[in-house]
């Protein structure tokens, strides 16, 4: 057995933890001449004001970059120039996965020469970052992506109609701060899509071909918390114990995926997000029950009754709380939750049958597909997408 585990240098979790960020940022900036902070914000004006007040109380000069929607390559390039022009010595991302990934990419490109495309996978040269990024603090305000502890930044490239990653161990934030109170006012539809993203990441990392004992333990705990609390948080955003569970599950999903990889859901999600105006979490939710079903069917058909299939049986026990639960119970449970959360089908995002061949080819080339517990045929990949339509 051999495995590695890497994450943010420091994680601070807890209700009210945002109140500590001024002091923590000041400590990180200690010794810098004229420290200047770039705040990359994708959340409400109220949360942004709270953060700026905490930073200004520590005499930290700030400029703000607002993130609207998912970041593009061009947007990150412009943000990098803003950071350089203001000589920013610290970057703070505040928001969901889009804002956190934008902040990661800007912090990295502020210190590395060349064009962003030089470093991107799939559409770029995939060059390795050579210089450590500007110190970066990631503050999550949704319970979904776990981007506060991942080593990649997902960026859209509209000319190529695809999402790709800037990927490097150097992208791991210096500090990840998770405050469940920041999620209390999320609307139900955002709670649903981000929560299903976290659950999907936990399930995919647990059955991944690269899973290891440490990520297994994290996934088991995260799946249990998400299964007992996602619907509660959806129905009552101020259910504090449910919000804490979902913030924990999201954090754990990021820890797990960064070290065990993902699978077919995220292999397709990158292509779908690049080709259509499709929120990432909703796409994952639309796909996950069908990926689970086809994976289990393929494992059975090919006679692979070992560890991968047993993991799906374990998921059945974890999500239902039934010691006799099995893979089919897991699939039914996930499908029922998607129905209760009113998850839209892919057709609602504009996907049609005619798009499936292109999505299949792009999905097969995606890095996440390599983590799927079994190599799926084109026919099986078509079946997943057709069911999700």
DSSP H or E segment with residue 162: strand 162-167
Confidence bin at 1 (pLDDT 50/70/90): confident
Q: What spatial distance separates the first Cα and last Cα of the chain, rounded to whole Å? A: 40
Tell me the mean pLDDT in the region 229-235. Answer: 98
- Output the pLDDT for position 305: 57
Determine the Cα angle at 111 with ends 108 and 117, to 5°: 60
Give the C-alpha separation, 100 to 342, whole Å.
27
How far from the centroid of its chain's Cα atoms is residue 86's Cα?
A: 29
Is 104 in the same domain as 222?
A: no
Distance CA 178, CA 157 (A): 29
Taking each helix axis from N to C terminus, what angle separates 280-301 and 327-340, rounded to the nearest 10 degrees? 160
Task: Tell whether 5 is covered by a domain.
Answer: no
- Supply 355's token pair: 């798009």
281, 196 contact by CB (below 8 A) = yes
30-63 pLDDT, tens per residue?
888 889 999 999 988 899 999 999 999 999 999 9
* pLDDT tens track for 294-334: 999 999 999 865 689 999 999 999 999 999 999 999 999 99
Domain that holds residue 193: 189-388
What pLDDT sits at residue 44?
80
Residues 147 and 241 in one domain: no
Same domain, 108 and 65: yes
Same domain? 41 vs 126: yes
Q: What is the DSSP letter of 376?
A: P
Are 69 and 53 found together in one domain? yes
State which of 162, 182, 202 marks the end of a domain. 182
Choose among 215, 247, 195, 375: nearest CA to 311: 215
Task: Output the CA torsion 363→120→143→106 (10° steps).
Answer: -160
**Residues 204 and 335 both lie in one domain:** yes
- Report the distance separating Cα 293 and Cα 214, nearest Å: 26
Give the CA distances from residue 361 to residues 117, 148, 252, 387, in Å, rounded to whole numbers and listed in that order. Answer: 22, 30, 30, 17
What is the rounded distance in angstroms from the CA atom of residue 155 to the CA atom of residue 274? 9
Residue-wise pLDDT tens digits, 76-98: 999 999 999 999 999 999 999 99
Q: Are 93 and 138 in contact (CB under 8 A)?
A: yes
The answer to whether 307 and 327 have CB atoms below 8 angstroms apart is: no
Q: Where are the alpha helices (DSSP H) in the chain?
A: 21-29, 45-56, 73-85, 97-109, 188-207, 213-235, 240-260, 264-275, 280-301, 307-320, 327-340, 356-365, 378-388
- Tell me how far apart the alpha carbons of residues 40 and 22 are, in angstroms, rounded to a whole number: 15
| CATH number of the domain that residue 304 is part of | 1.20.1090.10
DSSP string, 102-116: HHHHHHHHTTS-S-G
Return the pLDDT at 69: 85
Share of the chain above pLDDT 70, in %: 99
* Residue in the block written with tokens 């495309």: 117
Contact 15, 240 (CB under 8 A): yes
235 pLDDT tier (thresholds 50, 70, 90): very high
**Which one of 182, 208, 231 terminates a domain?**
182
CB atoms within 10 A of CB 85: 9
Does residue 4 fall inside a structural domain? Answer: no
201 and 224 belong to one structural domain: yes
One domain, residues 30 and 152: yes
Residues 160 and 272 in one domain: no
Task: List beta partners, residue 66.
Answer: 41
For the chain, what is the mean pLDDT? 95
Q: What is the pLDDT of residues 152-197, one digit of tens each?
A: 999 998 888 888 899 999 999 999 999 999 999 999 999 999 999 9
Find out whether 355 and 363 touch, Cβ atoms under 8 Å: no
pTM of the full structure: 0.96
- Which alpha helices (H) appear in 126-212, and where do they start and end? 188-207
Residue 170 lies in a domain: yes
Mean pLDDT of 253-258: 98
**CATH number of the domain where residue 126 is located:** 3.40.50.1970
């Amino acid at each position: 057995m051999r495995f590695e585990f890497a994450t943010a240098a420091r994680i601070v979790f807890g209700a009210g933890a945002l109140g500590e960020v001024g002091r923590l940022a000041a400590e990180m900036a200690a010794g810098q001449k004229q420290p200047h902070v770039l705040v990359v914000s994708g959340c409400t004006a109220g949360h942004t004001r709270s953060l700026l007040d905490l930073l200004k109380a520590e005499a930290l000069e700030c400029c703000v970059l607002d993130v609207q929607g998912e970041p593009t390559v061009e947007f990150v390039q412009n943000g990098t120039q803003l950071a350089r022009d203001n000589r920013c010595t610290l970057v703070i991302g505040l928001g969901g996965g889009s804002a956190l990934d934008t902040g990661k990419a800007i912090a990295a490109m502020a210190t590395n020469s060349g064009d962003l495309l030089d470093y991107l996978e799939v559409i770029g040269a995939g060059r390795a970052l050579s210089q450590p990024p500007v110190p970066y603090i990631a503050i999550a305000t949704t319970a979904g992506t776990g981007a506060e502890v991942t080593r990649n930044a997902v960026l859209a490239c509209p000319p190529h109609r695809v999402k790709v990653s800037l990927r490097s161990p150097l992208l791991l934030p210096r500090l990840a701060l998770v405050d469940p109170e920041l999620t209390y006012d999320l609307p139900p539809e955002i709670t649903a899509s981000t929560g299903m993203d976290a659950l999907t990441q936990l399930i995919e990392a647990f059955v991944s071909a690269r899973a290891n004992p440490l990520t297994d333990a994290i996934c088991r705990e995260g799946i249990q918390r998400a299964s007992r609390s996602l619907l509660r948080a959806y129905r009552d955003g101020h259910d504090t114990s449910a919000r804490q569970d979902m913030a924990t599950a999201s954090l754990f999903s990021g820890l797990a995926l960064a070290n065990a990889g993902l699978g077919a859901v995220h292999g397709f999600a990158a292509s779908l997000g690049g080709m259509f105006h499709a929120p990432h979490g909703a796409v994952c939710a639309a796909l996950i029950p069908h990926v689970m079903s086809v994976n289990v069917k393929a494992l059975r058909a090919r006679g692979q009754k070992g560890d991968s299939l047993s993991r799906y049986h374990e998921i059945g026990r974890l999500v239902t709380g039934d010691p006799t639960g099995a893979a089919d119970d897991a699939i039914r449970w996930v499908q029922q939750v998607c129905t209760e959360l009113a998850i839209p089908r892919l057709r609602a995002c504009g996907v049609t049958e005619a798009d499936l061949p292109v999505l299949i080819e792009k999905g097969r080339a995606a890095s996440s597909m390599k983590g799927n517990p079994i190599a799926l045929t084109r026919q099986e990949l078509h079946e997943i997408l057709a069911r999700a339509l």
